[in-house]
Structure 1
Amino acid sequence: MRKAMMLTCCKLYISESQNALALESIEQAAKRYPEAVIINKFKDEDYNRVGYTLVSNSSTNLSIDALPLRNAVFSMVKSAFEGIDLNLHSGTHPRLGVVDHICFHPLAQASLDEVAVLAKSAAADIGSKLQVPTFLYGAAHGEGRTLDYIRRELGYFKPNAAGNQWSGALNSEFLLLKPDEGPSLLTQSKGVVTIGATKWVDNYNVPVCSTDIEVVMRIARKVSGRGGGLKSVQAMGLMHGNDSAEVACNLLDPGRVGADQVQIEVERLASEEGVTVEKGYFTDFSQEKVTELYLKSIEAD
């Protein structure tokens, strides 16, 4: 039975960590579709952000519109928009909307093309039914547009408040990019959504013992592939709390460039800047662990 399974995973990031009632409502919305299991919840109070990891078995005879993972994600997104107002949000992690980012990943026997169809279907629903500008990337986009391209075009990486904070709604209701789904004008209380389909991505953050954000940003830039550092690594230098910072990394090909290499390189670059770092941490389980936990959960049921 395990060999026949086509497991699909979705990582969904909500711009909120302090509104317990809203988060409970979001999680209850997912539980309406018990075949889609929440495997991990990572809440970061300083970033004011929560990440959820869901997994479901897509090897069924159901149509794309009836797949539990797709419907669980839509239900969570709808609940998030009902309970959270971007105008009231503030944190030290960049974001473009109440539901900042959704990404689908293939696990087990699933293919990238299959999760791309799932991502595009979810985007169509969110754009039309919830009237939120929605942008596609990765395998879900016809030209393979990248997530960081969308984010740069929409000003994602530029803090809009003192203390390197992102606070309140986006600066304008007019978007510099045309959405793939939904209206061209955004609602300030909701923002926009980015939805993609990619191979597995590890998220690994390295705490830096410095409050000099310029130093931390330099380290992040040099460790990233874009800055001439480690290939397949994206990195941001962010404040994390009032008296610390970190280099937050996306490892786009963790089998090739993993957390150990990132840790060593950040330590080397930090030493050149005269600062020290702590041991980094993952914000989610590995894809192998996610699969294992899902299989255990359905066996228990």
Structure 2
Amino acid sequence: MKILQCVPNFSEGRDPNFLKELEAVLRQFPVKILDLSMDTNHNRADSTFLGASEAVEAAALAVTSRAVELIDMRHHAGSHPRMGAVDVVPFIPIRGMTMAEAVEIARRFGRAFAEKHQVPVFFYEEACTSESRRNLADIRKGEYEGMVTKLQDPAWRVDAGPQIRNEKSGVTAVGARMPLIAFNMNLHTNDLEVAKRIANAVRHVGGGLRYVKVMGLSLEDKGIVQVSMNLVNYQKTPIHRAVELIRAEAARYGVLVKEC
């Protein structure tokens, strides 16, 4: 059996009923739900489920469709970068299937989602149609508010859907990738500039670690800041190396790590 994982991220993190809605949809499909969680500061929800590739693809379209119905980006604000109600939908081959097969599913899903909801879709990571779109951060730059202008640029022709931002639902990225580790470290300070400087020192494009994407965020309700990481290849850059570097960089500013 070909086992596929899907990890849709949604721009809703403050309504606890939202997760119940997602779960109710996913329970209709023969998939295993691994995680349903949300973060109020990020105002973002994550879901993780896996199963036979056909079931996962069908469940992904159903659960993202429900999210489109429930989320209105015109009223969204949060500390995490975002560009759409269904912000990002990655597919990860787990067992018995190749990355090429995951790419095929991601692109098929992306076209179906775009057509059904009239939402612009970009393909990223292994599903990208050009190297300039491999990095999710490059696609998402400008966020929801900046997508009106961005989509007027010929360099940002969408891969599927209309060439105009959906006012209610924004823009969605769909991709195929290897398993990713998301890891956050909270700092004993409320100085966002410190978190951003640490993030810049740690991320690969800033001269830090390869296969690490990182940003500094403010957790306003806790009065602290956070260094938020995605390790896109934990085999080549293990998590302890990233943690050690963040601790060292924080020490340069006289800041301790509060919790991981």
TM-score class, shorter-chain normalisation, is: over 0.9
Percent of paired sites with the same residue: 28
CA contact (8 A) 1:263 1:279 kept: no
1:122 maps to which residue? 109
Instruction: Quote the Cα distance in structure 2 between the aligned partners of 1:213 and 1:22.
Output: 29
Name the counterpart of 1:183: 162
Query: Is 1:241–2:220 an aligned residue pair?
Result: yes
Name the CA distance, whole Å, in 1 between partners of 2:210 and 2:90: 21
1:10-44 deviation digits (Å, cap 9, x = unpaired): 111011122233332222122221x2221112211
Q: Which has the higher helix share?
A: 2
Could you tell me whether the CA contact under 8 Å between 1:232 and 1:251 is conserved in 2?
A: yes
CA contact (8 A) 1:22 1:84 kept: no
Matched to 2:68, the amino acid is: F
Deviation of 1:171 after TM superposition, in Å, equals 4.3
Q: Which stretches of structure 1, 4 residues or longer, exceed 4 Å deviation after superposition?
A: none
1:187-234 Cα shifts (integer Å, max 9, x gaps): 221110001101111111111111111111000010111110011111
From 25, 36, 39, give the equivalent of 1:41: 36
Distance in 1 (CA, whole Å) between partners of 2:129 and 2:80 is: 29
List alignment gaps of at least 5 residues for structure 2: none
- Where structure 1 has 5 or more consecutive residues not aligned to the other structure, the ranges are 59-66, 157-168, 281-301
Task: Normalising by structure 2, report the TM-score.
Answer: 0.92
Aligned partner of 1:6 among 2, 7, 14: 2
The aligned counterpart of 2:20 is 24
TM-score (norm 1): 0.80
Matched, 1:173 2:148: yes
Q: Secondary structure at the match of 2:185?
A: strand
CA shift in 2, pair 1:236/1:119, >3 Å: same
Contact kept? 2:14, 2:38, Cα under 8 Å? no
Residue type of the alignment partner of 1:19: D
Partners of 1:170 and 1:140 in 2: CA distance: 25
Contact 2:81-2:140 at 8 Å conserved across structures: no
Q: How far off is 1:262 after superposition?
A: 1.0
* 1:201-212 alignment runs, 5 A limit: 201-212=180-191
Letter paired with 2:240: D
> Structure 2 vs 1, CA of residues 32 and 225 (structure 1 numbering), >3 Å: closer, same or farther?
same
Equivalent pair of 1:208/1:245 in contact (CA under 8 Å): yes
Any idea what SS the aligned residue of 1:183 has? Answer: coil
User: What are the residue-to-residue correspondences of 1:202-281 with 2, within 5 Å?
Assistant: 202-242=181-221, 243-280=223-260
